[in-house]
């Protein structure tokens, strides 16, 4: 039997934990030394206790606190154990969802900031291929073209309230952009009362999701919101000059609103999908 007894240092080394960790587990009555030598007062672990230590380490690596692990060990029934595990799984799933959404939105912010260095000079029209994108669109009573930046800010509050009411992660509330029907663009009766956010595969189906198909877009970037109508006219003229037609709605995509940018203004890119006339 003596050969099966392990000092605390031996138990720690065997299981790749520190002696401080074993003392903490003992203090919390999770894994306590099983045998004490009455002559020396030394306490020993057994190999059989390694299985319990393995389970503790596995649960702890799943972000369960020691108090919860102790509760699991003290449960009297398998049914209650399953219930506790289901509660922890649900909580962890929520954390994973929130973290994944945050990661996706941070990557989008990073991509937009990196894109700034690749943009042509502000005010210059250019063609670009853009992959498919999904939007959550909200119609508002405000109009950017008639109310200017104040109207845009009111559209932002509308979108923010919408996300709050739907209990959607606030990390989606970045670079809120606007959209205008193709007909208004082609008639040059510019009006934009719809705001949108870009969404990913984790975003729930709110009933307001629209898909922008992939394709060739004619775009203009700027850091002056007062010039959007001027640049919208420029897009229209460029489409006519290249003998093309729009095949989708006009959007004004906000690339960044960070005040740290040297211009101190938001940077946006107006764009519309186009194709050659048949």
Render pLDDT for 96-116 as a digit per residue (tens, 0 to 9).
999 999 999 999 889 888 888
Burial of 243 (0-12, 13-18, 19+ CB in 10 A): exposed
CA distance to 20, 63, 174, per residue, from 42 (Å): 16, 32, 61
- Ranges of H-type helices in 4-77: 8-15, 19-27, 50-61, 66-74
For residue 68, the model assigns a pLDDT of 87
Model confidence at 1, in pLDDT bands (50, 70, 90)?
very low
Q: How far apart are CA 66 and CA 50, in angstroms?
A: 17
Instruction: List, for residues 217-234, the tens digit of each pLDDT value.
Output: 999 999 998 999 999 999
For residue 157, the model assigns a pLDDT of 93
Q: How far apart are CA 63 and CA 118, in angstroms?
A: 42
Burial of 46 (0-12, 13-18, 19+ CB in 10 A): middle
Helices and strands (H, E) in the chain, number of each type: 8, 12
Residue 29 is given by DSSP the state T
pTM of the model: 0.74
End-to-end CA distance of the chain: 90
């Amino acid at each position: 039997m003596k050969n099966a007894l392990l000092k605390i240092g031996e138990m720690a080394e065997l299981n790749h934990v520190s002696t401080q960790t074993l003392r903490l587990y003992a203090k919390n009555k999770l894994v306590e030394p099983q045998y004490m030598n009455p002559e020396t007062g030394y306490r020993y672990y057994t190999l059989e206790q390694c299985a319990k230590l393995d389970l503790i380490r596995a649960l702890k690596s799943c972000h369960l606190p020691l108090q919860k692990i102790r509760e699991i060990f003290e449960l009297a029934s398998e049914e209650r154990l399953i219930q506790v595990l289901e509660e922890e799984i649900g909580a962890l799933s929520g954390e994973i969802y929130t973290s994944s959404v945050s990661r996706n939105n941070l990557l989008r912010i990073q991509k937009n900031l990196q894109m700034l260095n690749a943009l042509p000079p502000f005010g210059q029209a250019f063609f670009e291929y853009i992959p498919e994108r999904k939007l959550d669109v909200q119609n508002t009573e405000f109009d950017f073209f008639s109310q200017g930046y104040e109207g845009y800010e009111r559209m932002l509050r509308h979108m923010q309230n919408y996300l709050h009411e739907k209990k959607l992660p606030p990390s989606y509330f970045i670079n809120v952009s606007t959209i205008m029907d193709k007909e208004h663009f082609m008639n040059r009766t510019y009006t934009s009362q719809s705001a949108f956010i870009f969404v990913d595969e984790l975003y729930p189906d709110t009933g307001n999701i629209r898909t922008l198909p992939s394709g060739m877009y004619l775009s203009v970037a700027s850091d002056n919101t007062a010039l959007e109508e001027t640049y919208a006219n420029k897009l229209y003229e460029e489409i006519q000059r290249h003998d093309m037609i729009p095949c989708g709605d006009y959007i004004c995509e906000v690339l960044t609103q960070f005040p740290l940018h040297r211009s101190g203004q938001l940077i946006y890119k107006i764009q519309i999908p186009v194709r050659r006339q048949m």
